[in-house]
Amino acid sequence: MRKELIVAALATIALLVLYNGQEQKGDAFADWKSQYGANWGAEEESYRRLIFERNLLKIERHNADESQTYKMGVNQFTVFSDDEFAKLYLNPMIASEAPQNVEETELPHLIGDVDWTTKGKVSGVKNQGQCGSCWAFSATGVMESWSLMKGTSVNLSEQQLVDCSRSYGNQGCNGGWPYNALKYAQNSGMASTSEYPYVAKDQTCKKTGGSFKISGYNSYSGCNGLQSQINNSPVSVCVDASNWSAYRSGAFSNCRSSINHAVLLVGIVGGNWKIKNSWGASWGESGYIRLANAGSSTCGVCSVAGVVPK
């Protein structure tokens, strides 16, 4: 085992003893392994246990702080360090590559609660796995909502976007932009997930296009633009999700400022942005997160123009 891991292990053990008052607890790590079906060699397991216990301590200390507006919890990411989580699930998105020279629709600035999940206009939560394909899930999410608004339910193929839209500027599991995915859907059409299943890895393109098409997309800039458009439909948006891994519930505001993740804005609830993520329904609030203070660019949600099909 590397020296730095030994040092970190000793420091973690000391902290755990101090924090838990030497009380004996059940083996939360063993429970985690059983829940997620994890199996490693001896050295890797020691390392994962170390990371898990360090993260568990962080979660417990956070949740004991009554001043916090959100709760943290154990989930599929608890065995990853912050750096590992970012490498596996996030991709830096260069602001200069955000939507350019696209039609921007000015709408009256409206403020009020709306939740498209309760109106049946949001498709189910999906799981991107260990592939930086959030942009594809954000794009299919907004297209699936657009279709539901018209009375038709579709389940569109993220894997087709991962494999087949590189000529539009996307990079498969290494990142991309939802608006580039919408350009692909406009020009080529989209296959369903049953026609082109998701495998969470890069492949050669197996099927170009499909029967589902859009005629283009509109973009909505700034918090005013998002607040206005969310009254009409969900919006594909980009955020900084660097600190999201342990989120369980509540209004989140512990944000950084580098855009690295794409999601679906589905409403404003209790004065907070409501976001559909693509890390499975066991994460967060059944796959969703609330970002504090709708009207503010919490986690950078307003910093890149949101997009909606047309």
Please compute, for residue 19, the number of CA atoms within 13 A of its CA located in the half-sphere on the CB side. Answer: 17
Q: If you ran DSSP here, which 8-state letter would residue 231 be given?
A: T
Q: Which tokens sit at 6?
A: 């030994």
- Mapping DSSP to helix (H, G, I), strand (E, B) and coil, where does residue 274 land? strand
Asked whether 160 and 190 are in contact (CB, 8 A), the reply is yes
Asked whether 256 and 243 are in contact (CB, 8 A), the reply is yes
What is the Cα Rg of the chain in Å? 20
- CA 150 from centre of chain: 25
| CA–CA gap between residue 165 and residue 184 (Å, rounded) | 6
Task: Give the residue numbers annotated as catalytic, written as ranges.
Answer: 134, 261, 277
Question: Measured at the alpha carbon of residue 21, what is the angle toward residues 17 and 25, in degrees to the nearest 5?
Answer: 80
